[in-house]
Copies of this chain bind each other. A is one copy, B any other.
Amino acid sequence: MTLTPEQQADIAASRGRTATTRRPTVAALEEVLFDALPVLDHGFVRVVDYMGDDDAVVQAARVSYGAGTRSVRDDGGLVNYLMRHRHTTPFEMCELKLHVKLPVFVARQWIRHRSANVNEISARYSILDDEFYVPAPEHLAAQATSNRQGRGRMLDGAEAARVLDVLRQDARRSYDRYMELLNETPTGETIDPARNGLARELARMNLTLNVYTQWYWKIDLHNLLHFLSLRADPHAQYEIRAYAEVILGLVERWVPLAHGAFMEYGLGGARLSAKALAVVRRLLAGETVDQKDSGMSAGEWRELMAVLGR
């Protein structure tokens, strides 16, 4: 992770300021507020602001469901009930704002989640930093042959070394020529006073997709959990999953009840289809069932057996 001296000074200044507030405040999250938590080789995630806490979820639910909710359940039970029954609006009452540094190809997956607010550094105006993602050797994998998606077996040492060389060389070369096109260094010094630099909005197209970008990303808790349910999932690409896992840890600090409910009913649970439920009922009744007479496809059957731990 690379923070510029300016960014480090900003972070230290932000961390040093305190104020008194009447707003709901979460001590465990305040502890890490503004800290840059490293992800991948140069990336990070920083909480820069938050609104609300577990109580805010409970309070919104009690407004909606009224007196009926007042006595019967404790807060944890209520949060579980909301998550289980897809009463999602109370979770929208909390908001998290992150500063994230991430490779462009990860940003392109991430931005597909539309229910968020984003301010990304613009390479029309700024010169991007000289940093690009190169995977650790243990994350280099061959294309999976069983399906069209995802990674198969790991590359061996020589293959991996060759891949890393290519990625490093090409990103480096593209970046060097980006500066040459700009006729400017990342800190804004002119390289050759006799030449004109190409407009930044054009020069950027020479960069490779592993160059790092940065953004402020703000999202409500409901939509954040939806993002995490897709991106902390084992089917997600490793690189975005690495971010999702760091964010999941921040969610645990911030709203431990909502986090617990999400692990129980969201990430930790499973959705069964009508046919899968029929199979489970037959199995529980002592029948022997196999894929052929389940009405399920081979892929579905395999997924169901995995879910049932068979």
Q: What residues of chain A have their CB less than 8 Å away from a CB belonging to chain B?
A: 14-15, 17-25, 30, 33-34, 49-52, 56, 59-61, 63-69, 77, 80-81, 84-86, 89-90, 92-93, 95, 97, 99, 103-105, 107-108, 111-112, 114-115, 117-122, 124-127, 133, 135, 139-144, 147-153, 155, 159, 163, 166-167, 170-171, 173-174, 177, 180-182, 184, 188, 195-202, 204-210, 214-216, 218, 220, 230, 235, 237, 263-265, 268-277, 280-281, 283-284, 297, 299-300, 307-310
Structural contact, B64 and A122, CB atoms closer than 8 A = yes
Known: A18-B22, A141-B199, A206-B167. Is A49-B56 also a contact (CB below 8 A)? Answer: yes
Report the separation of the CA atoms of residues A214 and B63 in the bound assembly, to the nearest whole angstrom: 8
Q: Looking at the complex, which one of B52, B126, B170 makes contact with A67 (CB distance below 8 Å)?
A: B126
Q: Is there contact, CB below 8 Å, between B205 and A207?
A: no
Q: Give the CA-CA distance A153 to B198 in the complex, in Å.
A: 10
A49-B51 contact, Cβ under 8 Å, with A125-B64, A214-B63, A220-B117: yes
Smallest CB separation, A234 vs chain B (Å): 12
Q: Which residues of B contact A92 (CB under 8 A)?
A: 117, 119, 218
Q: Which 6 residue pairs spanning A and B have beta carbons closest together?
A: A66-B126, A68-B148, A268-B274, A92-B117, A19-B25, A142-B196
A271 & B273 in contact (Cβ 8 Å cutoff): no
Which of B51, B199, B308 is the one whose CB lies under 8 Å from A143?
A: B199
Chain B residue nearest to A217 (CB atoms) is B93
Which one of B140, B181, B200 contacts A166 once the chains associate, using CB atoms below 8 Å?
B181
- Mind listing 15 A-B residue pairs with CB under 8 Å? A49-B51, A63-B99, A67-B125, A67-B126, A92-B218, A93-B97, A108-B111, A112-B118, A140-B202, A143-B196, A163-B198, A170-B173, A173-B173, A271-B272, A281-B308
A235 / chain B contacts, CB cutoff of 8 Å: 85
